[in-house]
Amino acid sequence: MNKVHNFSAGPAILPQSAIDASILALQNFSGTGLSLLEVSHRSKEYEAVVAEACQLVKDILKISNDYEVIFLQGGASLQFDMIPMNFLKPESSAAYVNTGVWAARAIKEAKMFGKVNVLASSEEKNYNFIPKDYTIPTDVNYYHCTSNNTIYGTEMFTFPNSPVPMICDMSSDIFSRPFDVTKFDMIYAGAQKNMGPAGATLVIIKKSFLEKANDNVPTMLNYKIHVENGSMYNTPSVFAIFVCMHTLRWIKSIGLEGMEVRNKAKADLLYAEIDRNPLFTGTVVKEDRSRMNVNFVLSDKALEAPFLKFCEERNLSGLKGHRSVGGLRASLYNALDIDSVQILVNTMQEFEKASTHAAVAN
Amino acid sequence: MNKVHNFSAGPAILPQSAIDASILALQNFSGTGLSLLEVSHRSKEYEAVVAEACQLVKDILKISNDYEVIFLQGGASLQFDMIPMNFLKPESSAAYVNTGVWAARAIKEAKMFGKVNVLASSEEKNYNFIPKDYTIPTDVNYYHCTSNNTIYGTEMFTFPNSPVPMICDMSSDIFSRPFDVTKFDMIYAGAQKNMGPAGATLVIIKKSFLEKANDNVPTMLNYKIHVENGSMYNTPSVFAIFVCMHTLRWIKSIGLEGMEVRNKAKADLLYAEIDRNPLFTGTVVKEDRSRMNVNFVLSDKALEAPFLKFCEERNLSGLKGHRSVGGLRASLYNALDIDSVQILVNTMQEFEKASTHAAVAN
Q: CB of B253 within 8 Å of any CB in chain A? A: no
Ramachandran category for residue A100: left, alpha or beta (phi over 0 → left; psi -120 to 50 → alpha): left
Same domain, A102 and A221: yes
Predicted TM-score (pTM) of this structure = 0.97
Q: What is the pLDDT of residues B173-214, one digit of tens each?
A: 999 999 999 999 999 999 999 999 999 999 999 999 999 999
Q: CB of A81 within 8 Å of any CB in chain B? A: yes
Chain A residues touching residue B2 (CB < 8 angstroms): 33
Who among A37, A74, A317 is closest to B73 (CB)? Answer: A74
pLDDT of residue B325: 85
pLDDT of residue A357: 77
- The DSSP code for A289 is B
pLDDT at B360 > cutoff 90: no
Domain boundary among B229, B249, B269: B249
Q: Is residue A211 part of a domain?
A: yes
Same domain, A32 and A129: yes
Same domain, A306 and A285: yes
Same domain, A154 and A33: yes
Chain B residues touching residue A88 (CB < 8 angstroms): none
Q: CB of A324 within 8 Å of any CB in chain B? A: no
pLDDT at A293 > cutoff 60: yes
pLDDT of residue A199: 97
Chain B residues touching residue A42 (CB < 8 angstroms): 323
Q: Based on the residue annotation, tell me whether A102 is a catalytic residue of this protein.
A: yes
User: Residue B244: closest CA among chain A residues belongs to which residue?
Assistant: A37
pLDDT of residue A346: 98
Q: Is residue B196 part of a domain?
A: yes
Backbone torsions φ then ψ of B261, nearest 5 degrees? -55, -50
- Number of domains within chain B: 2
Q: Does residue A312 or residue B358 have the better pLDDT?
A: A312
Same domain, A193 and A264: no
| Distance, CA of B92 to CA of B84 (rounded, Å) | 10
Residue B315 C-beta-side C-alpha neighbours within 13 Å = 12
| Distance, CA of A88 to CA of A82 (rounded, Å) | 10
E strands in chain B: 5-6, 67-72, 93-98, 115-121, 143-146, 148-149, 154-155, 166-169, 186-190, 201-206, 280-282, 293-298, 316-317, 328-331
- The dihedral over CA atoms of A316, A322, A323, A327, expressed in degrees to the nearest 10, equals -70
pLDDT of residue A358: 76
Domain boundary among A223, A249, A275: A249
Q: Which of B3, B81, B89, B102 is catalytic?
A: B102
Q: ipTM of the predicted structure?
A: 0.96
CA A228 vs CA A207, A216, A222, B273: distances in Å: 11, 16, 10, 41
Q: Is residue B159 part of a domain?
A: yes
pLDDT of residue B362: 57
Residue contact B37–A22, C-beta within 8 A: yes
10 Å Cβ neighbour count for A163?
Answer: 13
Domain of residue A21, CATH code: 3.40.640.10
pLDDT at A1 > cutoff 80: no
Domain of residue B315, CATH code: 3.90.1150.10
Residue A237 C-beta-side C-alpha neighbours within 13 Å = 33
Q: Based on the residue annotation, tell me whether B89 is a catalytic residue of this protein.
A: no
Residue B259's nearest CA partner among B174, B155, B159, B199 is B174
pLDDT of residue B1: 55
3-state DSSP assignment of residue A95: strand
| Mean per-residue pLDDT over chain A, rounded | 96
Same domain, B97 and B123: yes
Q: Based on the residue annotation, tell me whether B193 is a catalytic residue of this protein.
A: yes
pLDDT at A113 > cutoff 90: yes
pLDDT at A105 > cutoff 70: yes
Region A119-140: what's the mean pLDDT? 97
Domain boundary among A188, A223, A249: A249
Q: Which of B185, B193, B266, B320 is catalytic?
A: B193
pLDDT of residue A306: 96
Q: CB of B22 within 8 Å of any CB in chain A? A: yes
Confidence of residue B361 (pLDDT cuts 50, 70, 90): low
pLDDT at B81 > cutoff 80: yes
Question: Containing domain of residue A146, as a range?
Answer: 16-249
CB pairs under 8 A between A and B: 197
| Distance, CA of B26 to CA of B46 (rounded, Å) | 13
Residue contact A198–B233, C-beta within 8 A: no
Same domain, B202 and B316: no
Q: Is residue A1 part of a domain?
A: no
Same domain, A241 and A110: yes
Same domain, B75 and B198: yes
Q: What is the pLDDT of residues A230-255, one digit of tens each?
A: 999 999 999 999 999 999 999 999 99
pLDDT at B357 > cutoff 80: no
pLDDT at A362 > cutoff 60: no
